């Protein structure tokens, strides 16, 4: 694990509620502009350990960049240790005119 990955991991693990919120927003395809408004929801439900000063768009992007670097490094190591790999990308438009990219990566070990 590189020093940068370690620093990013510590930042993420120190703010688990923030990490889970960002992960959920990204998984649902939501904008990170929704991140700051989630704080008010957690206040309403009296979620403990919820400091207001971490709920900003800039902090959200810092965590996303850390998450991205960790995932990217892990994927690079996986591909380097694989004998063969194939990558397939397909774009599809839904009936409500949303555009989605499907990315498939196939790995063959030995």
pLDDT tens across 19-28, in order?
788 888 888 8
With helix as H, strand as E and coil as C, how does 53-105 read?
Answer: HHCCHHHHHHHHHHHHHHHHHHHHHHHHCCCEEEEEEEEEECCCCCEEEEEEE
Say if 40 falls within a structural domain. Answer: yes
User: What local confidence, expressed as pLDDT, does residue 17 receive?
Assistant: 77
pTM to 2 decimal places: 0.59
Say if 107 falls within a structural domain. Answer: no
pLDDT tens across 46-70, in order?
777 666 666 777 878 888 888 888 8
Q: Is the pLDDT of residue 4 over 70?
A: no
| Cβ-proximal residues to 21 (8 Å cutoff; 6+ apart), any chain | 35, 38
CA–CA distance, 65 with 71 (Å, rounded to integer): 10
Domain that holds residue 19: 3-82
User: What local confidence, expressed as pLDDT, does residue 49 receive?
Assistant: 67
Say if 102 falls within a structural domain. Answer: no
Say if 75 falls within a structural domain. Answer: yes
Say if 104 falls within a structural domain. Answer: no
CA–CA distance, 33 with 57 (Å, rounded to integer): 7
Say if 108 falls within a structural domain. Answer: no
Say if 96 falls within a structural domain. Answer: no
Task: Give how many domains the chain has, as a whole number.
Answer: 1
CA–CA distance, 97 with 60 (Å, rounded to integer): 28
Say if 66 falls within a structural domain. Answer: yes
Mean pLDDT of the chain: 79
């Amino acid at each position: 694990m590189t020093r940068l990955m370690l620093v990013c991991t510590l930042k993420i693990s120190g703010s688990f509620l923030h990490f889970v919120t960002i992960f959920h927003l990204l998984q649902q395809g939501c904008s990170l502009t929704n991140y700051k408004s989630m704080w008010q929801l957690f206040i309403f439900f009296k979620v403990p350990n919820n400091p207001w000063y971490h709920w900003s768009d800039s902090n959200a992007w810092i965590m996303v960049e850390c998450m991205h670097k960790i995932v990217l490094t892990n994927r690079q190591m996986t591909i380097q240790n694989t004998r063969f790999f194939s990558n397939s990308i397909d774009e599809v438009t839904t009936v409500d005119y949303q555009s989605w990219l499907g990315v498939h990566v196939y790995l063959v070990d030995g």
